Amino acid sequence: MGIDPKTIDWDSLGFNALETKSMFKATCKTGERWSEGKLVPYGTIALSPASGVLNYGQGVFEGTKAFHTAKDRIVLFRPEMNAQRMAMSTKRLCIPIMNEDFFIDALEQTIQDNIDYIPPYGKGSLYIRPIVWGTGPVLGVKPADEYTFIIFVSPVGPYFKGDIKPLHLKVTHNFHRAAPKGIGNAKAIGNYSASLYPSFLAKKTGFDEVLYLNAGNEKLIEEVGSANLFILKDNVLKTPRLAGSILPGVTRDSVLTLAKEKMDIEVQETDVLLDEVCSADEVFCTGTAVVVTPVGKITSENGKHIINDGKMGKITHELRSLLVGIQREECEDTLNWLHPVD
Ligand code: COI
């Protein structure tokens, strides 16, 4: 039935799955609509060993957060973007598509029922993980005929230990994250299992994470398995364009918008060369989990490159503060990104 929220030390939260009171659960058969679902106690679920997800990885997920704000409200950040990406990802994996209202209503129900697990203002956030799997049995390679949608939540703090300590990334020349016309742009569970071994090797040798190169052209960078990458050079902010294998991150889009509209910085969604990254003025990665995290060192087969003396850059800091300020209602939400949960 979940841990007692009164026992949580809000100051030492990391990025881990803590058991909360409840989770949302719905099922849908092929050809039907996602229409019903309910809150059930948080806990394990039974699956057929022949389920589509266990055999062929037919599953996609989302990640969003709820914040306790300076105005003592609970808000979601741009949940419609998650709903739209969920629709895109499910379509790509032949999973029945759920409409935005169903998705957002399910998020709201889950948050309301787990409200006691939302960290106090300024102490972190409630990470929300909507996930949908093919749970009907299959043997041949084909879509399952039944699907299960779950939303579980966990109070979280920083994704990386040390929070905004600049990362040391290892450029891998041995593995690709996603094929150009594969499923890199969908939030498919298989993309993340593909990143486990490269990430394990990098961490074992003292790096924080892996920077992947484009599978079609290894002069170009792709993303950091769990986050998008940005570089700043001569006051131009660049990030790899969404050409099929890059995940369309909500934070990626938010940072592009804030830089352009609030900070008057030129932004480019374009091809980004590894050489440009290594000589950039600032480098950072973005994601719901990582927020805006600076990169201080990059090691590739050409050696180690120190970015901005290994420190967080000024623009990186400003973008992070602006984004977090909006999410916590310390800054005005002029872009209408917040979705209050009553
Ligand atoms: C997120 O940033 O929410 C993600 O989904 C990344 C995840 C792999 C931790």
Write down the pLDDT at residue 342.
81
Write down the pLDDT at residue 164.
84
Q: Could you confirm whether 181 is annotated as catalytic?
A: no
Q: SS3 for 293? A: strand
Residue of 73, 74, 96, 75 lying closest to 86 (CA atoms): 96
Residues 6+ apart with CB under 8 A from 336: none
CATH 3.40.50.2300 fits 5-156, yes or no: no
Element at 239 (helix H, strand E): strand 236-240
Q: How many residues would you count in the chain? A: 342
Write down the pLDDT at residue 1.
76
Residue of 82, 72, 73 lying closest to 106 (CA atoms): 82
- Domain residue ranges of the chain, discontinuous segments joined by +: 5-156, 167-327
Element at 270 (helix H, strand E): strand 266-270
> What is the 139 CA–ligand 1 centroid distance (Å)?
30
> What is the 287 CA–ligand 1 centroid distance (Å)?
6
Write down the pLDDT at residue 187.
97
Write down the pLDDT at residue 128.
98
User: Which of 78, 288, 327 has the most ligand 1 atoms within 8 A of CB, as the residue to mutate?
Assistant: 288
Please list every protein residue whose CB sits less than 6 Å from any atom of ligand 1: 63, 192, 226, 287-289
> In a structure prediction context, what are the per-residue pLDDT tens digits for the chain, which is 342 residues long?
799 999 999 999 999 999 999 999 999 999 999 989 999 999 999 999 999 999 999 999 999 999 999 999 999 999 999 999 999 999 999 999 999 999 999 999 999 999 999 999 999 999 999 999 999 999 999 999 999 999 999 999 999 887 789 999 999 999 999 999 999 999 999 999 999 999 999 999 999 999 999 999 999 999 998 899 999 999 999 999 999 999 999 999 999 999 999 999 999 999 999 999 999 999 999 999 999 999 999 999 989 999 999 999 999 999 999 999 999 999 999 999 999 998
Q: Sign of torsion, CA 195 12 338 110?
A: positive
Supply the DSSP string of 208-224, one letter for each residue. Answer: SEEEPBPSS-TTBB--B
> What is the 303 CA–ligand 1 centroid distance (Å)?
29
CA 145 to each of CA 30, 124, 139: distance values in angstroms, whole numbers, following the listed order? 5, 39, 12
Tell me which of 21, 65, 170, 187 is the catalytic residue.
187
Burial bucket for residue 129 (CB in 10 Å: 0-12, 13-18, 19+): middle
Instruction: Tell me 153's DSSP state.
Output: E
Query: Which overall architecture, per CATH, does domain 167-327 show?
Result: Alpha-Beta Barrel (3.20)
Decide: pTM greater than 0.85: yes
